[in-house]
Amino acid sequence: MMRVACLLLLFPLLGACAAARSAGEGARTVASGLDEAAAAPLEDLGLRRQVIPMVLLQAQASPYDQRNLYQCSSIALEVERLNEALGPDADEPPPPDGRLLSERAADAASRAALDAIRDAATDFIPGRSWIRRLTGAEQHSRHVQEALQAGRLRRAFLKGLGMQRNCAPPAAPSWYRPRGVNWPGQ
């Protein structure tokens, strides 16, 4: 009977420890992202700009270029370069999230806090939309979005090309299974 009582007291304590650890990690996440969120007005004023990766600029210049893409390995290498710049493609399964619910909640709370700090830092700028236009920040933001879109388009094109050439992923979508014929470089 005493063991059962001890176990009943132990479970809430373990849950409290996990929640405290999650809260501590959330606080560290906010602290590490605080400088970035508070510096958001620097982008509005054109004093700091997001760097566009070269692979996205190349995709923007020539999204359907097939030069040097004769082998599955060269297609896969190009897709991997785009994945580094863009993150995983829509056909990729999300990585398993083995975190506790309290850890996911702490992450969500820290992201919300950073968004609030970023919003507060940019809201104090009077005429922010005009300042963004005058400093070129708005144009640069559009350029970044266009480069991201071109990169996604290029990656989709390359995966279609990989399917046509019967390549295995990542030169094709993750769900694609090559037919019995092996292409060079596969």
pLDDT tops 70 at residue 17: no
| Number of domains comprising the chain | 1
In-domain check, residue 113: yes
pLDDT digits (tens, 9 = 90+) for 72-91: 999 999 999 999 999 999 88
Q: Domain range spanning residue 41? A: 2-88+102-164
Share of the chain above pLDDT 90, in %: 40
pLDDT tops 80 at residue 96: no
pLDDT class for 134, splitting at 50, 70, 90?
A: confident
Task: Give 33 or 92, the one with higher predicted confidence.
Answer: 92
In-domain check, residue 141: yes
In-domain check, residue 178: no
In-domain check, residue 97: no
In-domain check, residue 94: no
pLDDT tops 80 at residue 38: no
In-domain check, residue 180: no
Write out the chain in H/E/C secondary structure: CHHHHHHHHHHHHHHHHHHHHHHHHHHHHHHHHHHHHHCHHHHHCCCCCCCCCHHHHHHHHCCCCCCCCCCHHHHHHHHHHHHHHHCCCCCCCCCCCCCCHHHHHHHHHHHHHHHHHHHHHHHCCCCHHHHHHHHCHHHHHHHHHHHHHHHHHHHHHHHHHHHHCCCCCCCCCCCCCCCCCCCCCC
- Is pTM beyond 0.85? Reply is no
For position 121, what pLDDT does the model report? 61
User: What's the whole-number average pLDDT of the chain?
Assistant: 77
In-domain check, residue 177: no
pLDDT tops 70 at residue 148: yes
| Token pair listed for 103 | 């850890």
For position 11, what pLDDT does the model report? 41
In-domain check, residue 96: no
For position 182, what pLDDT does the model report? 54
